[in-house]
DNA sequence: CTGGATCCAGGCCGATACTG
DNA sequence: CAGTATCGGCCTGGATCCAG
């Protein structure tokens, strides 16, 4: 538990920084359902700019989590899908997703309570 | 699978944004070992500024994940520990941490391969 | 349809100095 | 010891325009 502890934490932080950005998880979860095309993804996510979708997909492809397939048709189309490696990430992410879904109200309540308590105890309370 | 899909994704993204910042996971994992004092944490993490440690702890406290206890001694000392609720997050995070530790080399290899391939296929390759 | 390039705003985070 | 306040840089991410 003491050996490599820092290194492990660093590795964890590295992964979370990769996956914890604004869109990666969304893309991973959606691609968990199967192969999708670019604009298909874009429409599914709704709110993402094509820039961020491109960057996110590139980053995931770069790390070997997503496979990109270009079909030389006219007009051209590109498929994206999780690699087997990417699928191994799906389980832990789903775990966290489940936690998020189950505990969101609790977090919300805690947050509200904190705001209220803040006013009573004379804390700054600058929002 | 279709109902509440967007909402679930949003919840997931929300949690990941909370936990996916630069230091939260580190703090959670360390506090998973037991109660710690402020400067104790600061020394454990090494690289964090007192500012970021404060902000991170505040954020976690706000969401009900961490409990803060002030001892009115001289000099004053403050203990931080995970709440029972915070402990429920420990498991999924540990899951992801394990994934990170196990697959870091693979990610690194994929990244290297991507860089190399990039040069062969005439891609931009601007690093 | 699938992107690349550029411009620009806002937030995150670090360094430093100061307080109780 | 345990913070708070302020300043400033960097990076993320959005909008828009352009190209294959």
Report the candidate in B64, B61, B15 with the shortest Cα–Cα distance to residue A109.
B64
The answer to whether the C-beta of B21 is closer than 7 A to strand C is: yes
pLDDT tens sequence across B24-66: 999 999 999 999 999 999 999 988 999 999 999 999 999 999 9
| Residue B9 is assigned to a structural domain of this protein | yes
| Residue B63 is assigned to a structural domain of this protein | yes
Cβ burial, residue A77 (10 Å; 0-12/13-18/19+): middle
Among A64, A103, A107, the residue with its CB nearest the CB of B110 is: A64
Confidence of residue A126 (pLDDT cuts 50, 70, 90): very low
**How many CB atoms are located within 10 Å of the residue B8 CB?**
17
Tell if the CB–CB gap between B100 and A15 is shorter than 8 Å.
Answer: yes
> Quick check: A115 pLDDT over 90?
no
C-alpha B31/C-alpha B73 separation (Å) is: 22
C-alpha B92/C-alpha B90 separation (Å) is: 6
Say if B107 is an interface residue toward chain A (CB within 8 Å).
Answer: yes
| Residue B65 is assigned to a structural domain of this protein | yes
Contact B67, B61 (CB under 8 A): yes
Domain that holds residue A36: 2-88
Chain B residues with CB-CB distance to A91 below 8 A: 95
> Which H helix or E strand runs over B105?
helix B84-120
State the CATH number of the domain containing residue A69.
1.10.10.10
Cβ burial, residue A119 (10 Å; 0-12/13-18/19+): exposed
Strand runs labelled E in A1-127: 36-37, 66-71, 77-82
Contact A60, A86 (CB under 8 A): yes
- Summarize the confidence of residues A97-120 as an average pLDDT: 87
- Domain count for chain A, please give it: 1
> Which H helix or E strand runs over B66?
strand B66-71
| Residue A80 is assigned to a structural domain of this protein | yes
> Quick check: A14 pLDDT over 90?
no
State the pTM of this model. Answer: 0.87
The answer to whether the C-beta of A50 is closer than 7 A to strand D is: yes
| Residue B6 is assigned to a structural domain of this protein | yes
Query: What's the Å distance between residue B10 CA and nucleotide C9 C1'?
Result: 24
| Residue A35 is assigned to a structural domain of this protein | yes
| Residue A16 is assigned to a structural domain of this protein | yes
Match 């993490």 to its residue by tokens.
B45
Chain B nearest CA to A48, separation (Å): 13
| Residue B111 is assigned to a structural domain of this protein | no
Report the candidate in A29, A37, A36 with the shortest Cα–Cα distance to residue B6.
A29
Count chain A–chain B contacts defined by CB atoms under 8 A.
Answer: 149
Q: What is the pLDDT of residue A63?
A: 93
pLDDT tens sequence across B67-110: 999 999 988 999 999 999 999 999 998 898 899 889 989 999 99
Say if B16 is an interface residue toward chain A (CB within 8 Å).
Answer: yes
Protein-proximal nucleotides of chain D (any atom < 7 Å from a CB): 1-6, 12-17, 20
Tell if the CB–CB gap between B16 and A13 is shorter than 8 Å.
Answer: no
Average pLDDT score, chain B: 86
The answer to whether the C-beta of B124 is closer than 7 A to strand C is: yes
Residue B92 is encoded by which pair of tokens? 């999924």
C-alpha B30/C-alpha B105 separation (Å) is: 24
The phi, psi pair for A79, rounded to 5°, reads: -100, 145
């Amino acid at each position: 538990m003491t050996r490599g502890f820092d290194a492990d934490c660093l590795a964890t932080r590295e992964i979370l920084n990769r996956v914890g950005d604004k869109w990666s998880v969304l893309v991973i979860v959606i691609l968990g359902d199967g192969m999708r095309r670019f604009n298909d993804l874009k429409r599914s996510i709704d709110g993402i700019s094509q820039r961020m979708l491109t960057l996110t997909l590139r980053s995931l492809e770069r790390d070997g989590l997503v496979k990109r397939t270009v079909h030389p048709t006219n007009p051209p189309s590109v498929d994206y899908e999780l690699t087997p490696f990417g699928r191994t990430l799906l389980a832990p992410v789903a775990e966290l997703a489940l936690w998020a879904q189950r505990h969101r109200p609790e977090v919300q309540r805690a947050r509200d309570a904190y705001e209220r308590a803040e006013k009573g105890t004379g804390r700054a309370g600058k929002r």
